[in-house]
Copies of this chain bind each other. A is one copy, B any other.
């Protein structure tokens, strides 16, 4: 071929792809295949805790009760019996007056985020997220051209005073928050701050997206009510509230069942976008989830899961304190799957999360450095450690290896 344009692979891609890069986490995950490695890097629930028998029976009922509904095309809004079950689930968590028609089923809550991006973000629009926040949210919104602004957080969640100042300065399209046990921060937005966030949304007419996949995974007392539940106390605030729910962390990620609650006009536009994204979420998975929820096994399954994660969180926190001492700083989480920690550099120890992550893999333990969880201004000393899929004994061994990696880092630093 001598034609000047005959180079293959000259496909021209969309401009939006230049907004994102391949995840640093993905590169790290490739190393995890090494035999014997203890992974505190995952973001997964523990598959050993899934209620397989309950899901099997639910699937069986879905196919025997109404096979056509479970296998045929379905409404883009979602399978009506599942919408009813999800509305009832939300009612049980204090959300008053939520009709099934006020939520749509999404293909995991990741799709709810995607539909929010598609529905609301024009290229160049500003969106405020927490720093740090969920990695896939950052990339998802950037693909729609969002310019992300980060609001700082502490163990009580987002700093509402700073958030208010950022809203005034940037007039964002919306604000994205994970109020309960966020990934990676594990932070829990206090009741008082929740009320202030709702008032702020109403006063500044700023939509708030509440992403709540972890709220049910608490270890002691239940967290404060969700923003959606609390919105009943702040008249008019629900007009500015979007809420993303998920069965991934409490039942099974593989079903890919999430949902989105939003004001009617926004929900209608999200449905239109979903129609052209995937037509509808698997009716087979939806009918199975509906049968499962109707069967009433979720509460008991959740109670079992909470006990296990609480024990593992405790084991990880204790091991970090005893093995790493002053070299690491963190707040013991009250729920979720993660400990978010910061290397202090005390005694000249390594204070670079990325450098430590590489050395840790050499010692046979993995975690995720904090950097990719920041949309901007990363704190390079941070790290995310998951306790969800490793038993207490292996957690202790993993942290011992981490201490060796930190020591190796320290000694390498002295040379």
Tell me whether A10 is interfacial, beta carbon within 8 Å. yes
Tell me whether A207 is interfacial, beta carbon within 8 Å. yes
Tell me whether A50 is interfacial, beta carbon within 8 Å. yes
Tell me whether A68 is interfacial, beta carbon within 8 Å. yes
Given contacts A72-B44, A108-B278, A276-B110, contact A13 B256 (CB under 8 A): no
Partner of A254, one of B10, B55, B106, B283: B283
Q: Which residues of B are found within 8 Å of A22, using beta-carbon distances?
A: 272
Q: Are B14 and A119 in contact (CB under 8 A)?
A: yes
Min CB gap A1→B, angstroms: 7
Q: Provide the bound-state CA to CA distance between A70 and B52, in Å.
A: 10
Tell me whether A308 is interfacial, beta carbon within 8 Å. no
Q: Are A16 and B122 in contact (CB under 8 A)?
A: yes
Q: Which residues of B are found within 8 Å of A248, using beta-carbon distances?
A: 73
Q: Are B107 and A278 in contact (CB under 8 A)?
A: yes
Closest to A22 in B: B272
Closest to A235 in B: B1
Q: Are A254 and B205 in contact (CB under 8 A)?
A: no
Closest to A107 in B: B278
Given contacts A253-B73, A288-B284, contact A8 B239 (CB under 8 A): yes
Q: Which residues of B are found within 8 Å of A15, using beta-carbon distances?
A: 122
Which A residues from 46 to 94 make CB contacts under 8 A with B? 47-48, 50, 52, 55-56, 59-60, 63-64, 67-74
Contact with B along A255-292 (1 / 0, CB 8 A): 11000000101100100110111111111110110000
Given contacts A59-B59, A68-B47, contact A236 B1 (CB under 8 A): yes
Q: Are B114 and A269 in contact (CB under 8 A)?
A: no
Which A residues from 1 to 32 make CB contacts under 8 A with B? 1, 5-6, 8-17, 20, 22-23
Tell me whether A173 is interfacial, beta carbon within 8 Å. yes
Tell me whether A111 is interfacial, beta carbon within 8 Å. yes
Tell me whether A217 is interfacial, beta carbon within 8 Å. no
Q: Provide the bound-state CA to CA distance between A247 and B16, in Å.
A: 30
Total identical chains: 2
Min CB gap A211→B, angstroms: 14
Q: Provide the bound-state CA to CA distance between A283 and B265, in Å.
A: 32
Min CB gap A226→B, angstroms: 20
Q: Are A265 and B11 in contact (CB under 8 A)?
A: yes
Interface residues on A, range: 35 or more
Partner of A143, one of B111, B254, B276: B276
Interface of A is mostly: helix
Tell me whether A140 is interfacial, beta carbon within 8 Å. yes
Tell me whether A360 is interfacial, beta carbon within 8 Å. no
Tell me whether A344 is interfacial, beta carbon within 8 Å. no
Given contacts A63-B56, A107-B282, contact A70 B16 (CB under 8 A): no
Which A residues from 116 to 130 make CB contacts under 8 A with B? 118-122, 125
Tell me whether A299 is interfacial, beta carbon within 8 Å. no
Q: Are B285 and A72 in contact (CB under 8 A)?
A: no
Q: Are B72 and A279 in contact (CB under 8 A)?
A: no
Q: Which residues of B are found within 8 Å of A255, using beta-carbon distances?
A: 71, 282, 284
Q: Which residues of B are found within 8 Å of A56, using beta-carbon distances?
A: 60, 63-64
Given contacts A236-B8, A265-B11, A276-B114, contact A284 B252 (CB under 8 A): yes
Tell me whether A294 is interfacial, beta carbon within 8 Å. no
Closest to A266 in B: B11
Q: Which residues of B are found within 8 Å of A111, using beta-carbon distances?
A: 277-278
Tell me whether A102 is interfacial, beta carbon within 8 Å. no
Q: Provide the bound-state CA to CA distance between A50 and B70, in Å.
A: 11
Q: Which of A110, A113, A248, A282 has the most CB of B within 10 A?
A: A282
Tell me whether A144 is interfacial, beta carbon within 8 Å. yes
Min CB gap A373→B, angstroms: 15
What are 13 A-B contacts with C-beta separation under 8 Å? A11-B240, A13-B120, A47-B67, A56-B60, A59-B284, A107-B256, A110-B277, A110-B279, A253-B279, A256-B284, A282-B282, A282-B285, A284-B285
